[in-house]
Amino acid sequence: MSAHLLARVGTERFAFALAQVVEALDAPGLHDLPGRPAGMLGTMRHRGRTVPVWDAESAFGVGREGGEGTALVFHDGARGVALLVDDAEDIVEVADDAVRAAPAGADGGGLLSGVYKNHGTLVNVVRVNVLVARLVTQGERSNA
């Protein structure tokens, strides 16, 4: 069993290992970044650092409802990144044996370790390290 933060993107649910989530911030103040890459919404200040904010819609290919949302902040060493989701809903315990392989073609290019059911709702379990590495790489490519 491991604790996960349950977040909503549109009508889909995603679970992020709680140990890898630094913070969840409602309605973060975003700052525009001229020439930002597709999928990046801008930047925000977090604990004295400027952190790029990426849209969960582009990361997972799932439409967001829009609005201010909730920023999930992750760190990759000295670098931080945030992912804007519609809402952070709950902290849940996920049994390792409850996670099943994601349906073919639905794994987000390796972003998902699998899926499980939470009160009858299918939840996508995110490989946070893969997500963060992908977002950091996208940001670095855009700065090159």
Domain positions in the chain are: 2-143
Under 8 Å between Cβ of 37 and 53 = no
- The topology under which CATH files domain 2-143 is OB fold (Dihydrolipoamide Acetyltransferase, E2P) (2.40.50)
For 127, the token pair is 């490989």
78-132 pLDDT per residue, tens = 778 999 999 999 999 999 899 998 877 776 678 999 999 998 999 999 999 999 9
CA distances from 41 to 34, 68, 100, 103 (A): 10, 11, 32, 29
CA 47, 26, 113 angle in degrees (round to 5)?
90
pLDDT for 109: 76
In this prediction, residue 144 has a pLDDT band, given cuts at 50, 70 and 90, of very low
Mean pLDDT of 55-60: 91
Dist CA 31 CA 126 (whole Å)? 27
Under 8 Å between Cβ of 54 and 69 = no
Q: Name the DSSP letter for residue 20.
A: G
More confident residue, 121 or 140: 121
Task: Specify the length of the chain in residues.
Answer: 144
- pLDDT-above-90 percentage for the chain: 56
